[in-house]
Amino acid sequence: MEHMDFAHPYFGAFVMFVVTFGAFTATTMLSRYVGRKLARLDTEKLKCTIYECGPEVTKQPNTISVQFYLMALLFILFDVEIIFMFPWAVDFVVLGWFGFIEMITFIILLAIGFIYAWKKGALEWHSIK
């Protein structure tokens, strides 16, 4: 038999990861089992009736406006790209001219994307009618 090296600095972290993953899986499976056993499977007619007063409930489609989606997508895109500038600013002196040219290229590409979105009308808020 070979000698197993338990003195590795990350061995404890690996064991904790495996134990946590196992506990998470066991908790999820147990809650699913208990929930299915305790849930009432029959539907009561009283649950589907109108509570107190009001009009008959009609199901309406819940749609998210494309404007909200596009604005959120652009925000996340540009926000993440600007976060990439922070490590560059911290190590600006160490990176030298190469880092400066790389960041100028990155900013130019970012500006091209911003101008493209602006020209396509992605940043304009249209009235919803």
Cα–Cα distance for residue pair 65/128, rounded to 1 Å: 9
Average pLDDT over residues 21-44: 87
pLDDT over threshold 60, residue 125? yes
Helices and strands, number each (H, E), in the chain: 4, 0
* Overall CATH class of domain 11-119: mainly alpha
Task: Please report the pLDDT score of residue 108 as a whole number.
Answer: 93
Q: Give the pLDDT band (50/70/90) at residue 31.
A: very high
Sorted by sequence, the CB contacts under 8 Å of residue 113 that are 6+ apart come out as: 77, 78
CB atoms within 10 A of CB 53: 5
Q: Residue 103 class from Cβ within 10 Å (0-12 exposed, 13-18 middle, 19+ buried)?
A: middle
pLDDT at residue 129, as a whole number: 47
Burial class (CB in 10 A: 0-12, 13-18, 19+), 7: exposed
At 84, the amino acid letter reads: F
C-alpha closest to that of 103 among 117, 89, 113, 93: 89
pLDDT digits (tens, 9 = 90+) for 37-90: 887 766 666 666 666 666 666 666 667 777 888 888 888 888 888 888 888 888
Distance CA 58, CA 11 (A): 57
How does residue 17 score in pLDDT terms, banded at 50, 70 and 90?
very high
